[in-house]
Structures are given as structure tokens and as C-alpha cells.
Amino acid sequence: MGPPEDGWVRAVDRWLPRLLPVNLPLRTCLGCRRSVARDELVRLAWVEPDAQVVLDPGFRLGGRGCYLHPGCAAEVIRRRTVGRALRRPVDPGQVAELLATLS
């Protein structure tokens, strides 16, 4: 027996409604450590020629990046998680200026 209609997922012995889209990319926020849809977060990326952290609004810049909620910016600055996530020494002042534009 096939699925009753689109939007259902086969469990072991029955069909269950699909709650999330199949191809939804999940990312973890640096501030609150919750996994949410990528579209709800802001991406920061390391740009090698300039050797600095930049906003990546289109999620297209290559290389290492990190994600956070705009409201978690203060927590990210306090805990200095951007440098660890990017695996680079970053200037906390430059990251603070960058995240101040989000508020």
C-alpha cells in the first residue's frame, strides 16, 4: 500500500505526518547551542585575503563559517566562540563591531 498523500513518512508499521521538510539544513547557534534551520541564523565567515571575519548573508562564501541568532550576539562576544569556531585568532573588537550591525 502506498503513502496516503504527499507529506507523510513511513514509520515501521504506519504512516506519520512529515513535520519538517526533507532537505532542511540544520545548523547550531554559537550563542545558545540550539540546532535550528539555517535560514533563521546569520553566518559569519573567515575571508582569507583580508584576514578578517565578515557577514555572509547569502550563505555562499567559501571556507570555514559559523552561525548564530542575531539575539545571541552578546553571548557570542562574551564567550569568544567565533575564534574557536573559525579555528583562527580573531580580533574581538572587530567581531563586536560586526555583530553590533545585526541589532
Q: pLDDT of 79-91, one tens digit each?
A: 999 999 999 999 9
Other CB atoms within 10 Å distance of the CB of residue 66: 24
Distance of CA 6 to the CA centre of its chain: 29
Other CB atoms within 10 Å distance of the CB of residue 62: 10
The answer to whether the Cα torsion of 38, 43, 49, 51 is positive or negative is negative
Between 63 and 22, name the one with better pLDDT.
63
* pLDDT confidence tier of residue 70, bands split at 50, 70 and 90: very high
* pLDDT confidence tier of residue 49, bands split at 50, 70 and 90: confident
14 has a pLDDT exceeding 80 = no
Over residues 21-43, the mean pLDDT reads 88
Going by C-alpha positions, the residue among 87, 101, 91, 96 that lies closest to residue 52 is: 91
Going by C-alpha positions, the residue among 61, 99, 63 that lies closest to residue 81 is: 99
Nearby residues of 60 by Cβ (< 8 Å), 6 or more positions away: none
Domain range summary for the chain, segments of one domain joined by + = 21-100
Over residues 54-62, the mean pLDDT reads 93
32 CB-side CA count, 13 A: 11
CATH class held by domain 21-100: alpha beta
Note the pTM of the prediction, 2 decimals: 0.75
Average pLDDT across the chain, whole number = 86
pLDDT of residue 24: 75
